[in-house]
């Protein structure tokens, strides 16, 4: 075999190897290849190693199966009360059927953007401005449901739709800021009034409690004073009673001693005279002298004379 033949064989082998190598494809994770044979769809390759028929099969489309995010520019919409505003949306979607995605619609992203804009206008057109600003969750849910239903024939599943920004006109924003400022001032005034009310109530309650405590203190002091006066009166009465008892005891002792000494009538009369003298100490204005005392006075004069003579 000559050299030219060997070179020709090597060239043919090299070409065959190159053809085989170029027709071997590896499909990565979260991807799908749409395969066409002579221009017609023949299958979808999943993850792994695949070999296509040279010159007959071709990879028509590489489809990404991950969840994707589409951020669309602001769209002008008109509310039910004729307020024009701009709203931009974010759509989270995922391709579930690569074949439908490849052949369902021309340029699916533009189709989703236009569908999002028209759906948003339809929903916002049924709401007033205040409802639009406070009903984001409702709008998101309605848009997701509508878009998911519309994109299902395209092999696309819409997982979530979010209103990114809602931008009313400048005049509306100024009016809203003034309204919010007035509302904040109103709340501040209410809070201040409530604070003053609570402060007044607390002061009144404090005065009330102070008055109650003062009255209770005065009552307690009066009770203590009354008890002290009562105790003093009791002590005084006990002292007087004890003094009277002592005097009575002394008188009883005197009488007892006098009885034990067997006094004569003259001595008894003299004792009576002494008692009469004490009774007539000059304070009485009128004195009635018993006849016995008169005789006793004469006796006392006689005794005094006798004693004087003896002396």
Distance of CA 81 to the CA centre of its chain: 39
What pLDDT is stored for residue 286 in this prediction? 52
Q: Are strands 84-95 and 57-64 parallel, antiparallel or unpaired?
A: unpaired
What distance in Å separates the CA atoms of residue 98 and residue 108, rounded to the nearest whole number? 12
If asked whether residues 49 and 71 sit together in one domain, one would say: no
CB count within 10 Å of CB 276 equals: 15
Can you give the residue range of the structural domain that contains 271? 231-310
Q: What is the pLDDT of residue 231?
A: 85
Average pLDDT for 302-306: 43
Beta-strand pair 40-45/48-51: unpaired
Report which of residues 89 and 253 the model is more confident about. Answer: 89
For the chain, percent of residues with pLDDT exceeding 90 = 26
Among 118, 139, 168, which residue terminates a domain?
168
Q: Structurally, how many domains does the chain consist of?
A: 3
Segment among 22-36, 68-82, 273-287 with least mean pLDDT? 273-287
Residue where a domain terminates, one of 47, 64, 81: 64
| Other Cβ atoms closer than 10 A to 233 | 10
Highest mean pLDDT pick, 29-33, 127-131, 216-220: 29-33
Question: Is residue 92 domain-shared with residue 78, that is, in the same domain?
Answer: yes
- On whether both 84 and 138 belong to a single domain, the answer is yes
Beta bridge partners of 68: 93
Question: CA 183, 184, 187: angle at the middle one, nearest 5?
Answer: 85
Task: Tell me: pLDDT of 140 over 80.
Answer: yes
* pTM to 2 decimal places: 0.55
pLDDT number for residue 158: 94
Q: Are residues 74 and 51 in the same domain?
A: no
Same domain, 35 and 48: yes
> Residue 132: is it exposed, middle or buried by C-beta count within 10 angstroms (0-12/13-18/19+)?
buried
297 in a structural domain: yes
pLDDT of residue 134: 84
112 and 126 fall within a common domain: yes
Please state, in angstroms and rounded to a whole number, the distance separating the CA atoms of residues 106 and 104: 7
State whether 152 and 235 are in the same domain. no
Mean pLDDT of the chain: 81
């Amino acid at each position: 075999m000559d050299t030219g033949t060997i070179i020709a064989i090597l060239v043919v082998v090299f070409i065959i190897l190159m053809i085989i190598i170029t027709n071997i494809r590896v499909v990565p994770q979260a991807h799908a290849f749409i395969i066409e044979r002579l221009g017609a769809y023949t299958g979808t390759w999943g993850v792994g190693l695949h070999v296509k028929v040279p010159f007959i099969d071709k990879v028509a489309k590489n489809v990404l199966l991950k969840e994707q995010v589409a951020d669309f520019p602001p769209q002008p919409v008109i509310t039910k009360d004729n307020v024009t505003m701009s709203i931009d949306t974010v759509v989270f979607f995922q391709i579930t059927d690569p074949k439908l995605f490849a052949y369902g619609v021309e340029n699916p992203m533009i189709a989703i953007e236009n569908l999002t804009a028209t759906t948003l206008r339809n929903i916002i057109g049924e709401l007033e401005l205040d409802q639009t600003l406070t009903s984001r969750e409702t709008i998101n849910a309605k848009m997701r449901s509508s878009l998911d239903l519309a994109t299902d024939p395209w092999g696309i599943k819409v997982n979530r739709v979010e209103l990114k920004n809602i931008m009313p006109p400048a005049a509306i924003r100024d009016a809203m800021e003034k309204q919010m400022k007035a509302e904040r001032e109103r709340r501040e005034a209410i809070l201040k009034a409530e604070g003053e009310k609570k402060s007044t109530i607390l002061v009144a309650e404090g005065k009330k409690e102070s008055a109650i405590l003062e009255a209770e203190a005065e009552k307690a002091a009066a009770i203590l004073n009354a008890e002290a006066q009562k105790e003093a009166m009791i002590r005084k009465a006990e002292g007087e009673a004890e003094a009277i008892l002592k005097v009575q005891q002394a008188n009883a002792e005197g009488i007892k001693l006098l009885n034990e000494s067997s006094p004569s009538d003259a001595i008894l009369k003299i004792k009576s005279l002494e008692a009469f003298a004490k009774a007539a100490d000059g304070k009485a204005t009128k004195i009635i002298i018993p006849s016995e005392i008169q005789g006793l006075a004469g006796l006392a004069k006689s005794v005094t004379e006798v004693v004087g003579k003896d002396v």
